[in-house]
Structure 1
């Protein structure tokens, strides 16, 4: 036995060492090595190979530079067992181990089944739950095929590869699988050499035909057995075949129905599926068996629920309508059939209710009455048929609805209200329930109720009922009519009557007014009535007086309530009486001798005042609310103040506004012949002095404002057209300077 250890690394420093133990020792008691080499190739200057060789004589070598990496081969006997320890001292990589002696490993056994002989086993799932994929298998059925022509070979079956490698836990048949599509490991071992290989095959459980559990077989209860409420009906079970097979070819399978799971498993107690089967309980579970007709004859079973749904309640009923449609005595009217629904169904929700004129249509479900809210009966005391369907299961029951026409009636009524909602547009919202007492007056029938509608058709069909209603015709232009429908507690019509609605206008008065009371006087105030005869109204003042007009002497708020004697509608008026008086001037502020003269008049008084100025003796006055006047021309003027509320007398005062003309024209035409200060007289600022200069500052004239002014001469000589300068020392101490033009 010889071998060569070749490092996989090309590194020249690679250093592999080895030792061989044996023969026939154990891993735990190896003893001393019989061959070993620890030569370091770089130190010994030899290749990095090491091992056993027939050409060597030494049994061991090394360490370091000692040796060449090889020691003598071993003379071995077939069947002996040796251990080889290989150590990589340099830790650079792996190695290849090549046996080069005459000893050979014995041939391994093989799977004679070959790659094309499928060893996988398939069985019907007949153990326990038929749908869990766990069943029994005869593993040894594969043994003969695996061994083939081999001798000295044994076969064992295992649950894992580890067990197969160690020869542990061999399985016996019949073997119960642990899952569907389970892998089994087979150990094929030569009994002489103990060499073995491991192969696999798969256990697959046939779950039977891939049928499905059908949906419950649900039928509505019926009267076939004389009782449509006992929960027993006839089922034709074959109607479920196609659903259960779920696309399988029915010719490949046999499908049977059974009363118990045991019968289904055994194939006994078959129920005839071609004849009606009456359930024995509600609900009832029966069982379905489906078996293959060929092959392994595997089968599968499922359950089928038989259920009987109850029919919905459908109570017979009479619906009474008033004869208010067209001819009120012909027994023909309009019926809102929907009003009967709650009583027919007992108030149960999730019900569809349809109406028919004959029983055949009701059973077929068509044609139904479509105008259910305005159905006109064909004959008096007509009977309709009502089909009540449970929307959850589509089961239905048929009942009757008798249509009757009432000849009773209640009272017409009227409601009248004032247009006092603050808008006075002739529209008001009526609480129609206030007419109930009039509508039901002196009617002895108990338990009557009243509902209101806008039209007679709405009242007949009981559509769009309301209690609060706003009239559509303004109160001054007409009357609105609504309809009161009277019913008993069984929803039967007792009568349909009219209710007239009136909106009465409020008195036409001016609601707010003012009056002014001059000091020491009295004033007459009135109700402010703007239309209508004053004798048709009542008056009540806050003073307790009841006449249309009263005389007052005190400033305050006075109220009067004006009431229409016919309608009782009223409206309040407030008159605010204020005092007023002539104005008293306190000061007049004059800002003059400027380009923009202003006058401000300050007054006292309880009135509201307006102001005017009459300029230079004129009697022309333009009044304004502001006491301030601007751009007032110079001169002597009169100020006027009057009370806008009419209290007199008017207050006046004369004023003087000082100003300087911008030019004069001494040309003999009688206009602007001299230049002088305006608004100054011997009585007003009489001690004022005026100085006139030419452009060089030479004094040409000194004069007083009360004189005739400067005529444009100096020393008897006419002065030329030019600009001249002046200085005025007014009598109140003010000094003003400026210029003016002499134009010839």
Structure 2
């Protein structure tokens, strides 16, 4: 008698699921307005961002489209993406990344920008503050007259940067970090402004205006006899010595570009007060010292 045993055939089906392609987000393409300046039109090579769009993926094709619907459906691609003249500024191009190996497709966008050419409609007025304390020092909002420079230009498409030195404004270096709360380091003082489009890579304009307050403050040659500092140059400590009897003074330390390093009230004992400068980089500094409504500024070198 034969015994029958069921034969179970187990079939393992392995599904190899390919990952969906993902389009990388490309940086904008920015071209300066050099051909017929002012028309905000240039010829763009869209393919220079394909490395960012493909992002290391293989077996893919990139096409460029005027609308999102075209990119989603894969229709109406630009016939010559290496020479596309923009018709708006900025202009959004819709990019389709299509797999040639059955891994689907994805859509991203590419911005084309021609930075505007700034025009200083009018040099802003000087800023004069009369606080009545006659100390030659004040807090200024340097941005308060930007609308005069803009005129009818769109304020959302331009930026203003403020500097103490014209060369810094041209090089875009050492800008004033908080122009809405700037304490002057000379009185009067010239402020230089770099007006540029948001994409500060092409044209810019430099202009200047003066800030001034009541009293006298100078950082170059003010040298009154009632106070001295030593040693100069200094390595670790600077001692401020007074000929007059004072109990405390307010000191503000500036670097050579007028940037405030610290500000505090310090005690004076036996006509002297010591300030720790050991952590300062080697350079020249200005020490503003205020006592009984009188302010002097002393220069010293940290070595």
**Greater relative CO (CA pairs within 8 A, separation 6+):** 2
Length-normalised TM-score, structure 2: 0.48
Question: Which protein is bigger by CA-based radius of gyration?
Answer: 1
